[in-house]
Structure 1
Amino acid sequence: MATPALAGELPAPLTAADFIDFDMKQAALGRDLFYDKILSGNRNISCATCHHPDFGTGDGLSLGIGEGGVGLGTDRTAGTGETRIKKRIPRNAPPLWNLGAKELHTLFHDGRLSISDDFENGFNSPAEEWLPTGFNSLLAAQAVFPLVAQFEMAGNPGENQVAGAAHDRIDAPWPIIAKAVRTKGDYGTRFVAAFDHIQDPDQVTIVEIANALAAFQAIEWRSIDSPFDQFLAGDTAALTDTQQRGMQLFYGKANCSTCHSGKLLSDQKFHALALPAFGPGRTRRFDPMVRDVGRMGESDDLDDAYRFRTPMLRNVALTAPYGHNGAFATLESMVRHHLNPQQSRQSWQPADAHLPKAEWLAAIDFTVRSDRFEMARQAAKIDIKSVVLSDQDISDIVQFLHALTGTGLKTPIFGVPEGFEP
């Protein structure tokens, strides 16, 4: 089939040259740390609990179940008794594909971590001037924040040293975590072997730990061999006729590429889509109500209210549910929302959210939906225009999105360690 004419310009192929080089020894060390509960305050949860390859490097839930939960992925429960979860994670666990890309400059749904020299440490982050220097990438800087988040990995005040320190100052737990890591098993000697500047295990800090985690994630979950990538590299037979029709719509009438642009299929900017609201959300510190303010929580600019970062789309077919709060279970429902946000928002039902049962949180899970003023504000903030497409068009777009799935995912470089337990 001849290459189709497109309204929007196709990106250049995504290649190995578009990624930061990381050290394999450090990555091997990072793999074991990623799957090790030693990084959590109560030693009961690992990075992999919420970012597992069996669930597209996410967890398969709308809103995550962090500290206090039991199990993995869609089988994870909210726990029982005194150790049960105190709060759902406010947002959907983002996938980890291609986070080692050189052009990536902003992370988190609200962009609260970005490359910047505002604090003279290379990043604008929640740690501000207390973030240490020496991180090998944006991804490494990101890795330190779930470790000190109460409901993600740190735990609750009074339960452990990490949680207690986190309520003193954001950087206070990192030396505690670093000591726990470097004194466990052979981690200390492995850090000496993997990092040229480390001569003794006592020199290992949270920076080396984060750099190892970043090296692993960037190498393990680099994905540049999807049928779409092959098509961009010149193999016009890599996409089926249906997928090519979907690509034409994606880069044309459907306006998808307006935001999902460039090699990473993201403009790394923030847009309001009026997704159905639920969950505890992330507010500004002084907000009196349950809601998610999006980018405004970082910028404190009213114009940024309810805007969220455009996600990258490699392997998107594997990363359901979709949206910053996982409101939509399927690609089709997410595409339909983009085409008519108001109609989709009105027809959405709480049962559409995939939330593990937690009766003690039921009053919070959907309370924002009873606030008619907040619902009106969110419904009025939409940055995308409605587009009329046929059911066949939508099906073709979905098939194109499936063509973004890597072909070599079943043979990862490292894989899950034998004996891993969530």
Structure 2
Amino acid sequence: MTLMTKPIVTSCLAAIFAAPALAMDLPEPLKLEDFIQFDQAQVELGQLLFYDKVLSGNQNIACATCHHHDLNSADGVSLGIGEGGAGLGMRRSAGAGADQIIERVPRNAPGLWNLGHKDVEVLFHDGRVSVSDDFGNGFRSPAWIFLPQGLNSLLAAQALFPMTSEIEMAGQPEENPIGGAAYDAPHYVWPLVEERVRAIDGYLPLFMDAFDHVETAEDITIVEIVNAIAAFEGTEFRNFDSPFDQYLNGEEDALSDAQKRGMALFYGEVGCATCHSGPLMSNQSFQALGLPPFGPGITTLNDPIARDVGRMTVSDDPEDAYRFRVPFLRNVALTAPYGHNGAMPTLEAMVRHHLDPEQSNAAWREEMASLPPVSWLEEEDFMLLANAAETGRIRAKIDIDLPVLSDAEVADIVAFLHGLTGETALQRPMGRPDTVPSGLPVD
């Protein structure tokens, strides 16, 4: 697709190259002290729990299955296969017979980069877990007042909920006690997970080393479990040595000319930084982008359609329909596909969608989705896309209005986004463990 050519303001670019920090409202450089500093013993324990399938109802899926080191902390697909599947990414199978999955995970698995930053205030695509004093436990979440006390971070609060999802980790009510508990309420799941971990002898000395107050297996609670997972995620996926980071630290030659032009557009006339602002390149607001709907949707109370209305599922405000959290952009080139449902396969496709969401939505095709094949879900996968009324509502609710750009300008913005990839991003300090204390297989 060729877009209308529009001249770039050369005087603006000249000013940028001469004094980048003054010409644009660039973020402050990321520093180690900007991040929560976690105890190393908790980090090491968290690595094992992150990869241990014992936390899932049928003991067949771990946190890492959808946020794997081999897939840059995500899973590399539009909509993943959760509990009941086997393998990773596009090669993940969907089970067979009584164990086959009944639906895909309804939203794209986001990357975990830099989520231990102290400025992170909201997680999940719909923001259902956020920093808040509303319930006296430090967070607003689907568990309301039943969220446990003592969580060390928003990451820990987030880690509680995938294990309460029947599709993601818990399994179905008839399959195991955790699946049954998840059907009733999230906080019924966590004591059962505690019992699982307490019963594994190899975990006790690790918890004792990581937490001073743990002396017996009975002292291990869900709080210690998710605090350790958060410690691992917040430390392992901390990364800020990209060319952009180097540029912010005064190394003007760290970015190529194309990346500097893209940065000028991003922070200048295109206005990307209106939403992608701050050190993590997200203002953590919720915006409707008009992405095409597909997958199982998320069933909400009294809604006749199993669709995904985004932030509205949390706020119950019709104004929030089809709005999703603005994603953080560090290492974004490593976590395709893009969007709350992974609709856009490449960074270029996602940038072009932002420039003309309605046209992009209309032109979108099923083959653009990266979906592990599941023969019995083929008809369901794109039912929402065929619903003209629903697609019309989505196209009518778009919050962004960006200027027309030339192909060269699009290429420059994409080049800049690649400049956000850390030089050591693929060299994580710990990586995947060979074994875990439960003895269950490690993906």
1:162: Cα distance to partner?
Answer: 0.7
Report the Cα distance in structure 2 between the residues aligned to 1:5 and 1:203, rounded to whole angstroms: 51
Report the Cα distance in structure 2 between the residues aligned to 1:287 and 1:350, rounded to whole angstroms: 25
Q: Paired residue for 1:248, among 264, 280, 290?
A: 264
Give 2:5's aligned residue: none
> Contact 2:293–2:384 (CA<8 Å) still a contact in 1?
yes
Q: Paired residue for 1:330, among 346, 365, 368?
A: 346
Report the Cα distance in structure 1 between the residues aligned to 2:258 and 2:31, rounded to whole angstroms: 25
One-letter amino acid of the structure 2 residue matched with residue 165 of structure 1: A
1:298: Cα distance to partner?
Answer: 0.2
Distance 1:165 1:290, change over 3 A: closer
Report the Cα distance in structure 2 between the residues aligned to 1:45 and 1:398, rounded to whole angstroms: 34
1:286: Cα distance to partner?
Answer: 1.8
RMSD: 1.3
- 1:396 maps to 2:433: no
Distance 1:135 1:303, change over 3 A: same
- 1:213 maps to 2:213: no
Distance 1:403 1:374, change over 3 A: same
> Contact 1:6–1:248 (CA<8 Å) still a contact in 2?
no
- 1:68 maps to 2:84: yes
Report the Cα distance in structure 2 between the residues aligned to 1:317 and 1:410, rounded to whole angstroms: 12
Report the Cα distance in structure 2 between the residues aligned to 1:343 and 1:182, rounded to whole angstroms: 54
1:85-126 deviation digits (Å, cap 9, x = unpaired):
111100000110111111111110000111112121111101
- 1:84 maps to 2:105: no
1:158: Cα distance to partner?
Answer: 1.2
Q: Paired residue for 2:421, among 402, 405, 409?
A: 405
Give 1:302's aligned residue: 318
1:206-227 deviation digits (Å, cap 9, x = unpaired):
0000000000000000011111
Give 2:442's aligned residue: 421
Identity across matched positions, percent: 57
1:173: Cα distance to partner?
Answer: 1.5
Report the Cα distance in structure 2 between the residues aligned to 1:340 and 1:411, rounded to whole angstroms: 36
- 1:238 maps to 2:259: no
1:184: Cα distance to partner?
Answer: 1.3
1:362: Cα distance to partner?
Answer: 2.1
> Contact 2:72–2:335 (CA<8 Å) still a contact in 1?
yes
Report the Cα distance in structure 1 between the residues aligned to 2:434 and 2:219, rounded to whole angstroms: 29
Q: Paired residue for 2:50, among 25, 34, 39?
A: 34
- 1:169 maps to 2:190: no
> Contact 1:283–1:293 (CA<8 Å) still a contact in 2?
no
Q: Paired residue for 1:123, among 134, 139, 142?
A: 139
- 1:150 maps to 2:166: yes
Report how many residues are paired.
Answer: 422
Report the Cα distance in structure 2 between the residues aligned to 1:9 and 1:178, rounded to whole angstroms: 47
> Contact 2:147–2:187 (CA<8 Å) still a contact in 1?
yes
| Range with greater deviation from structure 2 (404-413 or 376-385) | 404-413
> Contact 2:89–2:372 (CA<8 Å) still a contact in 1?
no
One-letter amino acid of the structure 1 residue matched with residue 278 of structure 2: G
> Contact 2:310–2:324 (CA<8 Å) still a contact in 1?
yes
Secondary structure of the structure 2 residue equivalent to 1:172: helix
Structure 2: 5+ residue stretches without partners = 1-16, 436-440
Secondary structure of the structure 2 residue equivalent to 1:29: helix
Q: Paired residue for 2:335, among 316, 319, 331?
A: 319
> Contact 2:271–2:402 (CA<8 Å) still a contact in 1?
no
Secondary structure of the structure 2 residue equivalent to 1:385: coil
Given the two structures, how large is their TM-score scaled by the length of structure 1?
0.97
1:148-201 deviation digits (Å, cap 9, x = unpaired):
100000011111111111223221121111111122141012101110121212
1:37-74 deviation digits (Å, cap 9, x = unpaired):
11111010111110012212110110010011121112
One-letter amino acid of the structure 1 residue matched with residue 63 of structure 2: C
One-letter amino acid of the structure 1 residue matched with residue 323 of structure 2: R
Report the Cα distance in structure 2 between the residues aligned to 1:373 and 1:165, rounded to whole angstroms: 36
- What is the 5 A alignment of 1:80-119? 80-119=96-135
- 1:25 maps to 2:46: no
Distance 1:326 1:189, change over 3 A: same
> Contact 1:64–1:92 (CA<8 Å) still a contact in 2?
yes
> Contact 2:270–2:402 (CA<8 Å) still a contact in 1?
no
- 1:273 maps to 2:289: yes
Secondary structure of the structure 2 residue equivalent to 1:167: helix
- 1:360 maps to 2:398: no
- What is the 5 A alignment of 1:42-53? 42-53=58-69
> Contact 1:6–1:251 (CA<8 Å) still a contact in 2?
no
